[in-house]
């Protein structure tokens, strides 16, 4: 069984990492272990570049903390202002002992009530909880789940990004 260290204690991120690895490597067995990592970025990254930096830092931090694993994964959700709207997405960075790769999720746009709070510096999960009257939604379905009626939840947003980050690991001869 291969060990994945996920740079988060959020069960959504752990679940997304396992789902992505199992989809790409169905013949393997994986276990994901959480590890706390606090990157140097803002609590709510507000650009594509800052979000990718957070995912990179997370993966590297947990590799340094727990070097005895097969893979280290950093997942960072972020937002960026685009033409007066706020788009939301995630970056995933996967490391093994030899390589590093990354993948990005799709993007969706926040309703103005949530976007206004994010612009004021409120972290997206907290903004969702305030607007939707929820508690700890970021460890459940997240903004995307709340807005799509769970047609896509937070893990469902992250899994494709994990899969995209694993492409070079599945095709090492091409990378």
What tens digit of pLDDT does each residue of 20-43 get?
999 999 999 999 999 999 899 988
- What are 150's two structure tokens? 């769970």
Dihedral sign (CA 135, 118, 109, 51)? negative
Q: Whose CA is closest to 68, among 102, 35, 37? A: 35
Q: Are the CB atoms for 157 and 106 separated by under 8 Å?
A: yes
Confidence (pTM)? 0.93
pLDDT of residue 135: 79
Per-residue pLDDT of the chain (175 residues; tens, 9 = 90+): 999 999 999 999 999 999 999 999 999 999 999 999 989 998 899 999 999 999 999 999 999 999 999 999 999 999 999 999 999 999 999 999 999 999 999 999 999 999 999 999 999 989 988 998 887 777 788 889 989 999 999 999 999 999 999 999 999 999 9
State whether residue 3 is helix, strand or coil: strand
* Class level of CATH domain 2-174: alpha beta
pLDDT of residue 137: 75
In whole angstroms, what separates CA 93 from the centre of its chain? 9
C-alpha angle with apex 152: 132 to 39, nearest 5 degrees?
Answer: 75
pLDDT of residue 31: 95
């Amino acid at each position: 069984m291969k060990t994945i260290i996920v740079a988060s204690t959020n069960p959504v991120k752990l679940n997304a990492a396992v789902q992505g690895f199992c989809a790409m490597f169905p013949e393997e067995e994986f276990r994901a272990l959480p590890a706390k990592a606090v990157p140097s970025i803002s609590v709510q990254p507000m650009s594509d570049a800052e979000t990718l930096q957070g995912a990179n830092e997370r993966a590297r931090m947990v590799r340094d903390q727990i070097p005895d694993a097969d893979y280290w994964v950093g997942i960072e959700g972020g937002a960026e202002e685009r033409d007066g709207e706020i788009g939301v997405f995630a970056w995933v960075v996967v490391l093994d002992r030899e390589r590093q790769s990354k993948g990005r999720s799709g993007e969706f746009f926040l309703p103005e009530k949530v976007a206004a709070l994010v612009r004021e510096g409120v972290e997206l999960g907290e903004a969702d909880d305030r607007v939707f009257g929820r508690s700890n939604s970021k460890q459940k379905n997240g903004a995307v789940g709340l807005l799509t009626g769970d047609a896509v939840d937070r893990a469902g947003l992250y899994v494709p990004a994990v899969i995209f980050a694993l492409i070079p690991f599945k095709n090492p001869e091409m990378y």
